[in-house]
Structure formats: structure tokens, C-alpha cells
Structure 1
Amino acid sequence: MPLSRFAALAWLMLFAFVASVQAAEPPYDLKGRLDLTTLLAPPPTVESQAGKDDLAAVLAEQERRTEALAAQAKADAEVSIFRFANVIGEGFTADRLPRTARLFERLANSVSAVVTPAKDHWARPRPFLASTQVQPTSRPEGATYPSGHGTIARMYAIVLADLIPEKRAAIFSRGDEYAWGRIVNGVHYPSDVSAGAIAGTLIAAELRRDAGFREDFDAAKAELAEALRPAETKKAASP
């Protein structure tokens, strides 16, 4: 008996889902290697002065938020190393740099093993759930401390700066901007982002000891060295 249209669609959707999972780059194994609940200070409570200052900072960013700032922050919600293209320059694109894309996708896929247990442990509500004064640009689910985006932003900055050390200052500045957008969006507190920066640093340091990471890093470094060479240098080097 032939499949109904509904059943056929369901099978197609399942196939697409499985294919997307298989296509995703595997994370580096960080399970059990970092316990953020013993490495980070607990988040401030709503009633504490630090908690009140946190909320005041979110509301201050909301007050100064323009359409342009909101658009930038919303765009930076995308987890992609190629959001750093504006400080790296021409040629820093996923289609031209598949090994670099793979490295940073694996990095991003590794974060949840470290950050999710900490989020679950503290279960800090997001700013827009703690105060009706906060008007977020989106309403993501889940706890807010430490910031996953803040973690990724700092981890990305450290690794990318190691790959392209001559742009280290610009890369770290862009990483800070990338992370701060979560406060502009009204979905994180400054202390969430600060804790994320610590978490990202710890993860980067831990991964430097990982053989799989080092192999991917070396491949990306060679790829970037070739792709980002000035055209004049490439022309001079060609036979």
C-alpha cells in the first residue's frame, strides 16, 4: 500500500533531520573535565546590590538601544566565527575556509557539555522574566548564567587570535562586542556575560591539551595562512 502524503512528508522530515545531525561536526570531549559550579562565583540574587546593578545595566542598554544597535545584536545571536569577518578582512568566509569552519563548529558544539550543567545548577531567570521593565528583542528559553554566547565569544576570540595573532586586539574587541549584544538584546545580564568570558577562557585552555583540537587547529592555521595572504604575495610566489 503506498504511503499517504502525510506519511511520506513525515519520512522526508525524519530523513532531513538525521542527515543534519550526521552532518554536524562532533564536539570535542569536555564532559567531566570542567565543573563551572566550582570555578565560577554564584550569580547575584535579585535582592542584592549586585543584582540591582545588573538589572540597571540591562535597562540602560535598553534605553540607548537604537534600531541599528538592535539589528547588530540580533545578527550576532548567530553562532558563527564568520561574524568576525569585519575585523579579519576579505576572504574570511565559510565557503573559502572549510577547515576553519569545521574547527569553530566543533568548538561551538563543545560548549553545552560545560555550560548547561552550570545553567541548570543555578537556574537564574533571564532579565525579562525577572522584571517586566525589560523589553527583549527575543525571548530565548533556558537559564541565563553563565551566558552561552558570552562563553563562545571569548573562546572564539582566544582561538581566532591564536590563529591570526597580528589581529589579536581587534579580535578580542569584536568578541566583547559580540557578547555584549546579549545585554543589548535584553536576554542576559552583564554578570552572565562576564561569567561566560571566564568559562570560555577555561574551555580554550583545556582544549589546548586536546590532541583532536590541536590537529584541527593546525589545519585551520595552514588554511588561513594561505587564504589570507595578500594577492601581491601570492602572485610573487607563483611560478
Structure 2
Amino acid sequence: MAEPHLLEIQKLAKSFASNLVLKSVDLHVAKGEVVTIIGPSGSGKTTLLRCVNFLEVYNGGSIRIDGREVGYREGAERRKRSEVDLARMRAETGMVFQSFNLFPHLTAAENVMLGLRRVRRKPLKEAREIALHWLGRVGLSQKVDSLPSELSGGQQQRVGIARAVAMEPKILLLDEITSALDPELVNEVLDVVKQLAGEGMTMLMVTHEIAFARDASHRIIFMADGMVSAQGSPAELMRQVEDNERLRAFLSRFSAASHIH
């Protein structure tokens, strides 16, 4: 019997006032799989990630991680989980944001330690050891006691990745993590992600880096108008270009698109 998917999204719907942003999205991610979402701005990609982490309350459908509904308690009544419960569940879904979201008054190590101390309840010594380990893994051993203002954008984003993976999440959510970076800093961040992917980290990411999506992903999801418009391995997705006008128009805007297969 096949293993159940680590992340299972069914008929997900999300609206802001009268604007329906996600329309019955079905998506799944298996353990150890790297799935990338691409698509035009406004297609619902970031909203989808934020729903998985319950930073956005979804209106309809289901999101389950390891068989547990993310934002709502099990049962007939759709009742939101308590904040304590939500914090625990969010720790299972490490999220890396496009805008770094580091605390400016905390050092790199202290930023990584925060969740370990508050959510995982790790003792100070153990939390610092874990933080130093992961900061070393992302190439920042020399910067552990630096404040965010003393770090480049690429270094800040690598602290963000270290902070997320230090919590040992079941799945890592990456939202346009290179979009706020200068072009010369993009690869240092993407190299860290590729390394984690190679070690079997389960990931769901949104990116405009088409060549990176091709190289790092087991599967690519193309979203348009709040729906999954096409999906498959990088090679399978390219075979759908001729029959999918939206996908063809989207990929034609990227010089790297010609090399996706």
C-alpha cells in the first residue's frame, strides 16, 4: 500500500472579501519530495503557502499534514485550533519568507534559537548548539553573533533558512525567497536549498527562478487564476506547453524557459 502523502490539500478555497483567490485547489506532497509552484503574479501561490501554515484562514476545503487538519479541530464543527495548538502545528511547517522577517535586535544565533526555546522548549545550551550547527550548515559560522543589520540580504535569508530547518519541520515552505535579493546573492541562497533538497528535506516552494525550479524539483505545479492549471515533472510540464496557452505565455517571459527541459 502506498504511503499517505505528508501534505494533502483538497478542494482548498480562499477569498478576501468578494475576491476568490484560491478555487478548489488539490495538491499533495510526498515525504522527501520537492514541489515547486510557478505562475503569474496574483495566481494565488503565496496565499496557498500561507494557508498551509495557517497564516491565512482558509474558507473551504482541507489541508492535512501527516493526516492532521492544519487550522481546524477535527469534528463536525469547523472550529479553529487554539493559538497554542497552532504554534505547535506551525513548527511542523518551517516557513521562509521573501522579506527575511528576522528580529533586528537579535543576533543570527538568537533569531535561530527563538523558536527552539519558545516552541520546542529546548534548554539554552542545547538551543545554541542547534543554532550554531545550522548556521554552520548554511555557511555562516563566522556570523553567529552578528545582528541582521550587519549581514547582507543573502546572509539574512540564509539565517531565515537555518531558523526554519533548526525546528526540524516535517515540510519546509519557501515563499519567493530570492525575490528581495540582489542578483549576485541569489545563488548563495539557492545552493543551500539544493543541498537540503539533496538530503531529502520535504519542500513546497514558490519561485520565479525557472531554471532553479527545473533543477531542484521533483514536480512543478503551474497555477493560474487561483487554480492548478498544469503539473508534472519538469519534463512532463514542458510536454504540456503546446496544449496550455497560459503556461506557454508564462514561460515565454523567461529566457531560462527555453532550457527548462
> For this structure pair, what is the TM-score category when the shorter chain's length is used for normalisation?
under 0.3
Q: Which has a greater percent of helix?
A: 1
TM-score normalised to the size of structure 2?
0.26
TM-score normalised to the size of structure 1?
0.28
